[in-house]
Structures are given as C-alpha cells and as structure tokens.
C-alpha cells in the first residue's frame, strides 16, 4: 500500500516536472521566434540604410 | 495617437490597432467600420514606405490579394490600416520595427513583454532617430497599457534613450512618455520614471529646460491626482540650476506649494526632496522662501512627515553658517529631539553624530550633550539602541570630562536595562568609548561594565562584547585586560549550566585570535583541554571543533607542541569515553594539521587503540582511519604507510567479533579502495 502511494506521488512529481519543462521549452521557443524577427528587422533596416547610402554616393 | 495614425499621417485611418483590446475609442471605431463594410471583409491599404499590419498568426496580407477575411480577428486584435498604395513588400510589413514591437507586446507571457521592452533600443536603432521621435515615442506615449512590471521596464529604458532619439538636442522628446509614467499609481514605476527624468534633465540644455522641462514640472505639480505631485517633488533639484532667474522664482513658489499640499503623501515627498533642493538654492533664497515653510513642515501634524525633516535639517545645517545654525536650526532640532513620536526621536538619534558635526563643536558641547542624554534615556528601546550606536562618534566630538560626567552614568544604566537588544547594542558600542577615555579611566570605569556585560544572560550581549575586545586591548594592553577578563571567563567556563559553558566555548577561537598565542597558552589552554573531559557530550563535541579552529589560527607546529601531547595522554585514560574523545579530537584536527604531524603523531596513537577492549572505541578507530587515509594519500611518501599500517589494521578490524566494528571497518576499506589506496 505504502509503495503504491509512493509510486503515485513520484508519478505526480514527474508529471509536474514534465509540465514545467514543456512550459519552459515553449517559452524559449517563443523567445527564439521573437529574436529571429528582431534580427530580420535589423537586417532589413541595415539594407535600407545601405541603399540610401549607395544612392547618396 | 495610435500607431496607424502616426504612420499614415492620419489621412485615412480605416481601422486602428490597440494593445490588449483596451477600450480606447479607436478600437470601437474599428468594429463599427468593419461591420459597415460587412460580410467579414475588410479593405487593406498600404503605404509606400512602411506602415504595416501584422495580424496575429502571421496571416500577412499580401498586396494584390486585397480583400481578406479576418472579421473574427478584427474585434479583439489589432488590424492595420494604411493608405492605398501597393508598393510595399511583405517583408517590409513584417519587419516594420513598431509592428515587431506590437507583436511582441501582444504575447501573454509577461516575461516576453518584459524582454521586448528591455530591448527597446534595438527597435529604436532599426527605426533611426527621426522615426524614433516621430513614431516610437508617440506610440509609447499612448499605447502602452500593461502590467506595472513592463511599465517599470519602459521607465528604466527611457533613461538611456537620448542617443536613440538623436542626441541631447532631442532628449526632450523623452519627457512626454516619462511624464505619463510619473503619474501612474504604482510607486516603483513612478520612482523609476522620476529617476529617469532626472537623468534626462542632466543632458538637457538651458533652453530645453525652459521650453519643455519646466512646463512639465508645472503640469505635474498642479496635477489633480496626488501621484503626479509626488513625482514632481523629486524633479526640482535636477533642473533648478539650469533655469533663468524668473523661472527660479517660479520653481521656488511651486515647491512651496508642494510643501503646503493638503495630502500628507505629497508633503512627505516634498520633505524627502527638500534637502537636495536646498543644496541647489542660493543662501538668501533658502532663508527667505524655503525656511519658513521648512519650519512649518517640522511641526506637521503627521509624524511620518516630521521624521523626514530630520534629514533635511542635516543637509541645511551644512549649508548655513554656525550662527545661523544656532539661531534658526537649533530650536527646531531641540523640538524634534523631544518629539512625542518615538519615530521622530529615532531619526534624530540615528543622525546625531552627523548633526553634531555640522553644527560645530561649540554648539555640540553647550547644547547638544543634554539632548543626547535625553535620547539615551528615552522610553523606547529602539531609540536607545540607535543612540548608543552614536555614542563613540559623539564622544569624539566632546571632551572626556563630559563623557565621564554625563554619558557614563547613562551607559551604566543601560548595562542593566531590561531590554536585551539595548544591552546588546551597549555591548557592541561600549568598547568604542575606551580610546576616548584613555587607559586609566577605561580601567576604572569601563572595565566593571565590561565584566557585567560578560555575565549577561543573553548570548548576543556576550558575543558582542568579546568580538569588540580589540579596541580595548589597544588601549589598556593584553596584560591588564587578561587580569580582569580571565576570572570572568574561567567562571563562565565552569558554570553549572552546560549551555553557558557551550556559549563560552563558541567564543574561544575569536577570543584567542584577538588576545594572541602567548596569552592563550598561559591561561586558556588548560580550560580548553578540560572541556574534552566534560560530562556532557555536546561540550566535548564543541571542544574538539574548538581545537580544530585553534589549530587553524595558531598553526600546526603550535598544535604539535601544546595540544597533541595532552590529547595523547588521554588515550591511556581508563574511562573509554575519554579514549573516544581522543579519537574525535585527533580526527577533527587532522584536517588542519600538516601531513607530517598526522603521520608521526596522530596515526600511531590511533593505531594503538585498535586493540581496545571496548567495541565503541574500536569502531571509532575504523572511522577515524578512514578520514586519516584520505588525508595521507595527498603525500607520496605516506602512501606506503597506508599500505603497511592502515590497511592491515582495518583488515583486522573487519574480522572483529562485533557487528558494528566489522561494518565500519569494511566501510573504511571500501572507501579506501575507492581512492585506490589499498590493493589486496
């Protein structure tokens, strides 16, 4: 009986841990998406600047 | 102004965006318009150069596919409007910096929104200075409606933003969003906004201050809601020096308006920043315009306001001359020091030495001594505690005779105070008086107080007195101190209560390091050894740890000559408990000793005990051999010794008739094998 309880508790803890890690992973994924977007944004801004610069010279 | 309006110059806003479906008028307009168009079709238009619309899930609207259905999204999300031109590419829309920011700020995870704001510089950099001013700043002005945490980050970011808006000459563009943040309800956000505003104010030119900062200050000062008035109080000192004379007059009037505010919150903020503001003022202006109000503030009916004026008093006293201090500030100080609220008296007490310093020695001697005596006799324990903490610094400013006549009787009373925290504070600070009084007076007056404190029931009191002994040793010398201190320590060391004995043992290493090896050997060594034979195990245990700490302080050679012979003698004692203590002592000390001493002195003694008649001793031998082996393995030459002596001994113990002895011996063997010490 006791072993069974322990097993249930352990299982619940594992589940909680999995949920936590999954959540973290989703968060990191989202951050990555945001960062990629920012990099693209900066790349675009740089290209525009460069165009302007070339046009000026 | 919303983003679409800025980007499209307001000429054709069809739909507008708002963050987090806030109930701003543009969003209601959106719903109306879309329903008018009907059937779930919204027209999309594009500007030439920028202007984007990124709907939530990346469903980008490409030019050419003009009517797109996303009626269902229109209501709770932003849609984007642009005047009708079709030169934009998808990339452009997607990467338009503000759209990126808006997108990030839509995330439901606060941490992500926070990240977005913390990297606001990147957005501004991509936009360039011109468009940061024209588009980003207005966006921040109006469209941010978020958690306090995010607002705090915005306020923080804006402090360093002047480089992104085009340098100091455009820094005033930052004032608007910060002004909004300075009026929010959350204190942390407001404070941060004020901090950032002060930083921005430093880079502003005089004309910028005149045209932008002072109007802002006025607006905040006259704000309807008290939060903006509180923020305003913090901004005066930052801009005052850059103002024209007329404006200075105006600022002084505005500030006095804050001092007389109806709400105590604002008066408190004014009192808090009064000191800094006073530093910026010319002396005559301070005297004429601020002083009367300051005096009023010190008589405020709220004690939380009054207690803040103590700091101001300190600042102002540093500005005024000695005579002015005496005529104007001294009466104020006196009334504050006798305030009916103990928190006000507490503030006076905790700033006392600094106050004395800025008032000058003459006033201190004539007037402030009696104030100090009153504070030290205060009815509140807290006040007494801070007052006594000021005593050494205060004592330096007055002559010894006054200390002796006035201060010392009070200190004497505090030594027998009923409040233990007061006594602990006395114990911490009393030794600071010794250098002021000099050798003879210290011996005559302070020493008895010391000894009394040393016998206090409260452990903190004893600890404080012992940890500050150094000051006293410097004044009266170790010899004299030990003569009076030793009897007290010996008495405590032989106290009937084992808790008292334990307490003293814990202070021995500290005491030894302060008094030096000579003094220790002569007087305290025997005491330390006698604890090893104490009837209570906790005491014996503490004594062994104590020995290790002593070895760490005095070095292994000292241990070899003084402690080890005595400990080894105990190995022959008839009582097995003594023999076990020997083992404990040697094992704990071994870590602090050099390998040579372990090899020559410790190991043989331990090995000799392996044939003891009591099993408890034998299994403790096994335990301590385990520790010793791991120490000896560091030295190449002693590895042999392990092979030839330790391993056989353990082997023999593992064949013992007693279960415990076997078990511990096998455990030691196993861990020895783990370290590759034994090979069988």
CA distances from A11 to A3, A22, B567 (A): 12, 16, 54
Residue holding tokens 């594992």?
A: A14
Closest chain B CA to residue A45: B126
Q: What is the DSSP string of B60-110?
A: ---TT---B--HHHHTTS------S-----HHHHHH-HHHHHHHHHT-S-H
Q: B58-67, B168-177, B671-680: lowest mean pLDDT where?
A: B58-67
Beta carbons of B536 and B498 less than 8 angstroms apart: yes
The dihedral over CA atoms of B354, B360, B364, B365, expressed in degrees to the nearest 10, equals 140
Residue B279 and residue B455: Cα distance in Å, rounded? 49
d(CA B367, CA A27): 65
Give the Cα separation of B481 and B516 in Å (integer): 12
**∠ Cα B348 B349 B352 (to 5°):** 85
CB B385 within 8 A of CB B421: yes
List CB contacts of B123: < 8 A, sequence separation 6 or more.
Answer: A38, A41, B97, B98, B100, B101, B136
CA B638 to chain centre: 49
User: Which one of A30, A34, A42 has the shortest CB-CB distance to B126?
Assistant: A42
B672: Cα within 13 Å, side-chain hemisphere: 28
CA distance B290 to B262: 18
Q: Which residues contact B132 (CB under 8 A, 6 or more apart)?
A: B124, B164, B165, B166
Q: Within B289-416, where are the H helices?
A: 291-298, 303-319, 322-324, 330-337, 342-350, 352-359, 361-363, 369-376, 381-397, 400-402, 408-415
A–B CB contacts, 8 A cutoff, strictly below: 45
C-beta atoms of A42 and B100 within 8 A: no
Looking at per-residue pLDDT, the higher value among B639 and B615 belongs to B615
Backbone angles phi, psi at B288, to 5 degrees: -80, -45
**Coil, strand or helix: which one is B614?**
coil
B104 chain-A contacts, CB cut-off 8 A: 34, 37
Q: Is B553 on the interface with A (CB under 8 A)?
A: no
CA proximity to B63, closest of B76, B47, B78: B47
Q: Are the CB atoms for B8 and B51 separated by under 8 Å?
A: yes
Three-class DSSP category at B591: coil
Predicted pLDDT at B675: 59
Q: What is the pLDDT of residues B200-251, one digit of tens each?
A: 877 777 777 777 877 887 878 887 788 888 888 877 777 777 777 777 778 7
Mutation for testing the B interface, residue in A22, A26, A33, A38 having most B CBs under 10 Å: A38
The DSSP letter of residue B601 is: I
User: Which residue do the tokens 């007056």 mark?
Assistant: B445
Q: What percent of chain B clears pLDDT 70, i.e. is strictly above it?
A: 83
pLDDT at A14: 93
CB distance B540 to B581 below 8 Å: yes
Please tell me the distance in Å from A56's CA to the nearest CA on chain B.
17
Q: Tell me how far apart the alpha carbons of residues B148 and B141 are, in angstroms, rounded to a whole number.
A: 15
pLDDT value of residue B676: 56
In this prediction, what percent of chain B has a pLDDT beyond 90? 0
Tens-place pLDDT, residues B496-552: 777 777 877 877 887 777 777 777 777 777 778 888 878 888 888 888 888 888 888
E strand or H helix at A18, and its extent? helix A2-56
Provide the 10 A C-beta neighbour count for residue B579. Answer: 20
Q: Model confidence at B627, in pLDDT bands (50, 70, 90)?
A: confident
Q: Inter-chain contact A27–B112, Cβ cutoff 8 Å?
A: yes
Q: How confident is the model at residue B2 (pLDDT cuts 50, 70, 90)?
A: very low
Predicted pLDDT at B84: 41
d(CA B420, CA B608): 51
Mutate to test the interface with A, among B58, B88, B95, B96 (most CBs of A within 10 A): B95
Q: Quickly list DSSP for B202-228.
A: HH--HHHIIIIIHHHHHHHHT-SSHHH
Selected residue of B98, B126, B132 to mutate for chain A interface (largest A Cβ count, 10 A): B126
Convert the pLDDT of each residue in B539-586 to its tens digit: 888 888 888 888 888 887 787 787 788 877 777 778 888 888 888 888
- Whether B138 and B1 have beta carbons less than 8 Å apart is answered as yes
Q: Name chain B contacts of A33, Cβ cutoff 8 Å.
A: none
What's the pTM value of the predicted model, to 2 decimals? 0.64
Q: Tell me how crowded residue B84 is: count the other CB atoms within 10 A of its CB.
A: 12
Q: What is the DSSP letter of B241?
A: T
**Is the confidence at residue B21, as pLDDT, over 50?**
no
Segment B596-613 shows an average pLDDT of 78
Structural contact between residues B336 and B372, judged by C-beta atoms closer than 8 angstroms: no
CA B253 → CA A31, B256, B279, B313, distances in Å? Answer: 50, 5, 16, 20
Residue B274's pLDDT band, with cuts at 50, 70 and 90, is confident
Is the per-residue pLDDT at B273 higher than 70? yes
Cβ-Cβ contacts under 8 Å for B276 (sequence gap 6 or more)? B237, B315
For chain A, say whether B111 makes contact (Cβ under 8 Å): yes
Q: Which helix (H) or strand (E) holds B587?
A: helix B576-590
Q: What is the pLDDT of residue B3?
A: 41
Q: Which residues of B touch A47 (CB under 8 A)?
A: none
The four Cα atoms B408, B409, B415, B417 give a dihedral, to 10 degrees, of -140
The first and second tokens of residue B506, run together, are: 């814990």
Most distant CA atoms of chain B, gap in Å? 106
Residues from A contacting B (CB-CB < 8 Å) are 27, 30-31, 34, 37-38, 40-42, 44-45, 49
Find the residue in B nearest to A28 (Cα).
Answer: B112
The CA distance from A41 to the nearest CA of chain B, in Å, is 5
Contact: B92, A41; criterion CB under 8 Å: no
Closest chain B CA to residue A29: B112
Chain A residues closer than 8 Å to B115 by CB? 31, 34
Please report, rounded to a whole number, the percentage of residues in chain A having pLDDT higher than 70. Answer: 100
| B407 CB-near residues (< 8 Å, 6+ apart) | B372, B373, B376, B391, B395, B433
- Judge contact between B243 and B214, C-beta under 8 A: yes
List chain A residues with CB under 8 Å of B91: 44
């Amino acid at each position: 009986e006791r072993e069974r309880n322990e097993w249930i508790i352990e299982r619940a803890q594992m589940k909680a841990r999995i949920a936590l890690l999954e959540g973290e992973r989703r968060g990191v994924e989202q951050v990555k998406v945001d960062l990629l977007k920012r990099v693209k944004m900066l790349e675009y801004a740089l290209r525009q600047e460069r165009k302007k610069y070339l046009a000026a010279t | 102004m919303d983003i679409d309006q800025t980007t499209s110059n307001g000429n054709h806003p069809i739909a507008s965006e708002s963050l987090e479906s806030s109930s701003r008028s543009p969003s209601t307009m959106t719903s109306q318009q879309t329903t008018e168009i009907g059937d779930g079709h919204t027209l999309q238009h594009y500007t030439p150069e920028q202007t984007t619309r990124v709907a939530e899930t990346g469903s980008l609207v490409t030019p050419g596919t003009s009517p797109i259905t996303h009626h269902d999204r229109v209501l709770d999300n932003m849609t984007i409007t642009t005047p009708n031109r079709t030169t934009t590419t998808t990339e452009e829309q997607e990467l338009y910096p503000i759209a990126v920011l808006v997108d990030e700020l839509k995330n439901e995870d606060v941490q992500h929104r926070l990240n977005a704001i913390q990297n606001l510089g990147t957005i501004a950099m991509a936009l360039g200075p011109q468009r940061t001013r024209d588009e980003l700043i207005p966006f921040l002005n109006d469209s941010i409606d978020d958690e306090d945490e995010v607002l705090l980050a915005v306020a923080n970011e804006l402090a360093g933003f002047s480089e992104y808006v085009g340098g100091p000459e455009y820094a005033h563009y930052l004032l608007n969003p910060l002004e909004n943040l300075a009026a929010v309800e959350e204190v942390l956000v407001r404070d941060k906004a004020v901090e950032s505003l002060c930083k921005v104010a430093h880079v502003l030119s005089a004309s910028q201050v005149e045209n932008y900062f002072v109007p802002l200050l006025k607006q905040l000062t006259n704000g309807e809601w008290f939060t903006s008035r509180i923020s305003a109080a913090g901004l005066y000192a930052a801009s005052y020096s850059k103002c024209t004379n007329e404006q200075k007059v105006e600022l002084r009037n505005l500030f006095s308006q804050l001092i007389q505010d109806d709400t105590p919150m604002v008066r408190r903020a004014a009192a808090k920043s009064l000191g800094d503001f006073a530093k910026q003022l010319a002396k005559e202006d301070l005297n004429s315009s601020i002083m009367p109000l300051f005096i009023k503030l010190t008589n405020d009916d709220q004690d939380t306001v009054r207690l803040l004026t103590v700091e101001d008093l300190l600042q102002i006293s540093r500005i005024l001359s000695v005579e002015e201090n005496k005529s104007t500030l001294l009466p104020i100080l006196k009334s504050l020091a006798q305030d009916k609220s103990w928190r006000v008296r507490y503030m006076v007490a905790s700033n006392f030495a600094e106050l004395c310093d800025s008032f000058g020695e003459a006033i201190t001697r004539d007037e402030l001594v009696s104030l100090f005596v009153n504070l030290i006799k205060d009815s509140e324990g807290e006040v007494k505690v801070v007052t006594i903490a000021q005593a050494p610094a205060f004592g330096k400013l007055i002559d010894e005779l006054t200390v002796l006549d006035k201060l010392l009787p009070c200190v004497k009373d505090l030594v027998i105070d009923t409040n233990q925290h007061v006594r602990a504070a006395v114990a911490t600070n009393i030794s600071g008086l010794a250098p002021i009084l000099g050798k003879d007076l210290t011996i005559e007056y302070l020493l008895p107080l010391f000894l009394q404190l040393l016998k206090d029931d409260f452990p903190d009191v004893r600890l404080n007195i012992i940890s500050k002994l150094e000051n006293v040793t410097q004044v009266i010398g170790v010899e004299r101190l030990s003569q009076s201190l030793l009897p007290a320590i010996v008495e405590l060391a032989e106290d009937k209560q084992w808790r008292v004995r334990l307490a003293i043992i814990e202070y021995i290493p500290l005491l030894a390091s302060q008094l030096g090896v000579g003094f220790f050997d002569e007087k305290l060594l025997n005491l330390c050894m006698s604890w090893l034979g104490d009837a209570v195990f906790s005491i014996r245990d503490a004594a062994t740890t104590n020995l290790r700490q002593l070895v760490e302080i005095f070095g292994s050679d000292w241990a070899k000559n003084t402690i080890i012979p005595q400990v080894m003698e105990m190995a022959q004692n008839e009582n097995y408990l003594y023999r076990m203590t020997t083992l404990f002592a040697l094992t704990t000390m071994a870590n602090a000793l050099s390998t040579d001493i372990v090899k020559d002195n410790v190991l043989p003694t331990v090995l000799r005990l392996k044939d003891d008649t009591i099993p408890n001793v034998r299994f403790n031998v096994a335990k301590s051999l385990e520790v010793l082996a791991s120490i000896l393995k560091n030295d190449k030459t002693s590895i042999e010794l392990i092979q030839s002596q330790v391993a056989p001994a353990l082997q023999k113990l593992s064949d013992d008739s007693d279960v415990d002895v076997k078990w511990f011996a096998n455990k030691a063997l196993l861990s020895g094998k783990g370290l590759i010490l034994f090979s069988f």
